[in-house]
Amino acid sequence: MKAVRAGVRWMARTISIVLLVILGSTLLVRFAPGYLSDAREMDSRYAVVARSELSAERARSHSIPQMVLSEIRSSLHGDFGTSRQFDVPVLELIRPRLAVSGGLLLRGIGLAWLVALCAALISSAGRNPSLFWQTPATLLLAIPTAALATFCLLANSGGPVLVMALLLAARDFKFLNHALRRAWLEPHVLQARAQGVGPIRLLLGHLMPALAPQFEALASLSIVTALSALVPVEVIFNVPGIGELAWNAALNRDLPVLLAVMMLMAVTVTCSGMAVPRPADWESA
């Protein structure tokens, strides 16, 4: 019965988030500067067609509730409507890009976890926090995603996976370093070290099980952080993924595509949040 109630609550929360995403994205796009303008108006060859399209768009966008209901109906059809920029079903644009963005996210998160865990194990094993490890993580957290990606591009060193991994590793390191410092002081860990247990056995048999609930929370945090960095990374490195599609949709007032991408990200964040244990679970663990 508890599982059913939890499932109903999750479904209600997901539907509410998706509806808020549709409403918020529609309002942002509709009232953005230049929504009812088109560069083709400056060209005599396309001016008549452009003005006709803008006039029809102005009539459709006169009522915000009507716009929202229209986008919801398009989403319920399964193909998320038709792209205004490419005049094809939105699903056809999203489907081939999912594998590109998914691969980038998985490789970036995997590399970030490896770097952050190794750095946190070395840093947390000392008696006091090490500035050698803390300083790079703090500096990376202070650098905007677009700035770091632009620097790597201009220096012709690294790529989208490296930028994603560095950004995630800096945040994950802070989390893991704090969790490991607490884990090193657990009684069973202290006893194992006193009995001369080897480092590999100590890590796999004592530290990792103690950190299991925190790893679930870290996975959710990594996914949310990676999604927030996806757009600037893909745009700057010209990666044909979901982030670049969303950027082009925003520039070209392609509301159906923008809403589909935003809903996809909202559902992903909501699903990843289900894996986060409650604080009471952490204490019991």
Using one digit for the tens of pLDDT, what is the confidence trace for 18-35?
Answer: 788 778 877 777 777 666
pLDDT at 285 over 50: no
The domain containing residue 57 runs over which residues? 19-76
> Are the C-beta atoms of 20 and 36 separated by less than 8 Å?
no
Are 127 and 195 in the same domain?
yes
Phi, psi of 14 (to 5 degrees): -65, -45
Answer yes or no: is 9 within a domain.
Answer: no
**Count of domains forming the chain:** 2
| Residue 6, domain member (yes or no) | no
In a shared domain, residues 211 and 279: yes
With H, G, I as helix, E, B as strand and everything else as coil, classify residue 183.
helix
Which DSSP state fits 236? Answer: H
* Residue 10 located in a structural domain: no
Convert 199-229 to b/e letters by CB count within 10 Å (16 or more is b). eeebeeebbeebbebbbbbbbbbbbebbbeb
CA separation, residue 144 to residues 34, 154, 173 (Å): 27, 16, 17
Confidence of residue 61 (pLDDT cuts 50, 70, 90): low
The answer on 248 and 143 residing in a single domain is yes
pLDDT at residue 14 is higher than 80:
no
**How high is the pLDDT of residue 101?**
93
Predicted confidence band of residue 277 (pLDDT cuts 50, 70, 90): low
In this structure, of 57-66, 226-235, 242-251, the range with the lowest mean pLDDT score is: 57-66
Q: Are residues 137 and 256 located together in one domain of the fold? A: yes
Q: Are 256 and 83 in contact (CB under 8 A)?
A: yes
Checking if the pLDDT of 109 tops 80, the result is: yes
Q: Is the pLDDT of residue 57 over 70?
A: no
| Mean local confidence (pLDDT), 261-273 | 81
User: Is residue 4's pLDDT more than 90?
Assistant: no
Are 227 and 265 contacting, i.e. CB atoms less than 8 angstroms apart? yes
